[in-house]
Structure formats: C-alpha cells, structure tokens
Structure 1
Amino acid sequence: MDLNGQRMFPGILLIGFGLYFFLQQSAFTWVKPYLGWPALLLITGISFLVQGLKEEGSGILPGVVLTGFGLHFYVVDYLGWWANDTGVFILIIAVGFLLQHQKTGHGLLNGILFLFLAAITLFYGTIKQWLGPLESFWQFWPLVLIAIGGYLLFVQKNAGHSRKKS
C-alpha cells in the first residue's frame, strides 16, 4: 500500500466524523434524528469501503459489515418488510465476503457458507415445515455447524501441518 492509500481511510473517516459532529452542533433540526450511533457505523464502514475498493481490497469486508449494520439499524424501523433477524446480519457478512472475493479472489467459500447460513436462519420456519417428520433432527443443526467449524480449525489444520513436514 502506498502513502496515498494510508491517508485515504483516516482522511475519509475524519471528514465523516467532522461532518457528524458539525451537524450535531448545527441548527439543522431535520438531521438530528439521523445522528445516532448507526451513523458512526456508516461513516466508518464507508471509509473502509472506499479504501478497499480503491486499494488492495482488505477493507471491503469490514466496510460492508459496518455499512450494512449501520443501514440495517436505520431501515428496520422504517421498512415494514425488512427483517429484524439474526439472518440479516449473517447475510450482510456473506455479501462482504462475496464482494471481497470479487476484488481480491479470496473469501468465496466463506461467502457461500455465510450465505447458506443466512438462508437457513432467515427461512428457519419454512425449512422446518418442509422437513415434516424429520423436524426432530433439525434441532441438531447447530451441532453440525460446531462440528464443521471444529474440523476446519483442528483437523484440516493438522492435515496441513503433516503435509508440510513431509
């Protein structure tokens, strides 16, 4: 990363925070309801996104996550169709990984896994209905996630170390 890249994130962040605090002190009353903590998430997220899109892409994931979470906390009260569910947060993370993959070529598997998990979480009730008599097995799906995570952390890691020693 060159010197300009190192200035981009803090520059945008400082401008955004400066505007935030200026508007808090200003007489513009119409903007006051929008100056809560989600605005700080948006400012920080946009700073990461701009840096990630202009530079090597490392800021895309935190940018999408922070911007998405900030937007979620604004729109959840105004859009009746917007889900206020854990699955929305997982979906935002999935989008972050997929956009990061578009820029860097890394994170596709993570994006697909999070997208799958978001779909399960958002459509949990429908999936339980589809399963019918197998519904009792559905209660164990969190254990499947734990098992896959353990495999990725410990078994696959150890397999990689044994290959390196050979």
Structure 2
Amino acid sequence: MKKQHTLAAYLLIGIGIFFLLQQLKIPIFSNFYSWQTIIILIGLVLLIHSYATKNYHNLFSGTIVLGLGIHFYGLSYYSFWIDHWAMYVLIVGIAFIIRFLQTKEGLLPGILLIGFAIIMLFSIQLPVWLNWIYVIIDFMERFWPIIFIVLGLYLLKRKK
C-alpha cells in the first residue's frame, strides 16, 4: 500500500527546516530567509516526492517551480543574473526535458523551447550573417502571446 500523505509530509519537513534555520539565525544561511527560498523549497519537495513515490506527474510542475525560485533568487541576489523573458521559456524547456528523462514524453518541445530560449538570450550578439533572425525576433517579441495561443489551440485540436 502506498503512503497517502508523503507530499504533505515532505512539505511540512521542508518548511519546518526552513523556519527552524530562520529562528536559529545561523549567519551562513542569512541570504536564504526569503520568499524565493520557499518557492525553491516547494519545487524541491515536488521533485523529491515524484522520485520517492515513482509517480512522475509532479516532475514538470516541480521543475518549473524550482526553476522560477532559482531565477527569482538569482535576480534578487546576483548582479550578473540574466533578466530576460527568455529565461522563463528556458525553465519550461528544462521541465520538459526532466519529464522526458522519466516518462519518455516531451523531448521535442523541450529541445525546441531550450533552443528558442538560447537564441533569444543571445540574440543581442548574433554575427552579421544572421541578421535575418532579428526580423523574426522582432515579430515574435511583438506577437508572442498570439503565437502561444495558436500553439495551444493546435495542441488541443491535434489528434494523437
């Protein structure tokens, strides 16, 4: 019989450790007493729960929550952190790849999203012979919500 409440147990343990460390005021952990750390903690709990129970439906969401927590933490505490919208696309692409490693689903979207994010992140420094990409990037930056809506509708309507 599977344990029914393992996700809640991991979450309570993680939050308990977070607040215990906060009360102990250990200097080495002083930068980790933030809302970003709680997001990272929730993402880690989802990932640990998925691997511990071998029920991989939380891998995707756990990776996204963990990635967002790391990204927000990096924005708050590191001046070199990249503050670009393509980081969110990169996080979703990585989530697809992490899920693919266990479920064998989502490799193509993961690769496409990671590739797209890398191109967008480094689009400022493209060589001269790739100037045509700037036209596409400008179009996509202007109409990306519509592109997402069309892709979402396509995914809903396509037959497997």
CA contact (8 A) 1:41 1:69 kept: yes
Percent identical pairs in the alignment equals 26
- Quote the offset at 1:99 in angstroms: 0.9
Which of the two has higher C-alpha Rg?
Answer: 1
Change in 2 beyond 3 A, CA 1:34/1:135: closer
Task: Report the TM-score when normalising by structure 2.
Answer: 0.78
Q: Which amino acid aligns with 2:68?
A: F
- Aligned partner of residue 139 in structure 1, secondary structure: helix
> 2:55 — aligned with what?
56
**Pairing of 1:21-60 with structure 2 (within 5 A):** 21-54=19-52, 55-60=54-59
> 1:126 — aligned with what?
125
CA contact (8 A) 2:120 2:137 kept: no
Deviating more after overlay: 118-127 vs 145-154: 145-154
Task: Give the number of equivalent residue pairs.
Answer: 157
Give unmatched runs, 5+ long, in structure 2: none
> 2:78 — aligned with what?
78
> 1:9 — aligned with what?
7
- Quote the offset at 1:155 in angstroms: 8.4
- Quote the offset at 1:41 in angstroms: 0.8
CA contact (8 A) 1:41 1:66 kept: yes
CA contact (8 A) 1:56 1:104 kept: no
Give unmatched runs, 5+ long, in structure 1: none
Change in 2 beyond 3 A, CA 1:145/1:7: same
Q: Distance in 2 between matches of 1:148 and 1:66?
A: 20
Q: Distance in 1 between matches of 2:49 and 2:34?
A: 24
Q: Distance in 1 between matches of 2:94 and 2:124?
A: 23
Say what the alpha-carbon RMSD is for the aligned residues: 3.0
CA contact (8 A) 2:123 2:134 kept: no
- Aligned partner of residue 140 in structure 1, secondary structure: helix
> 1:20 — aligned with what?
18
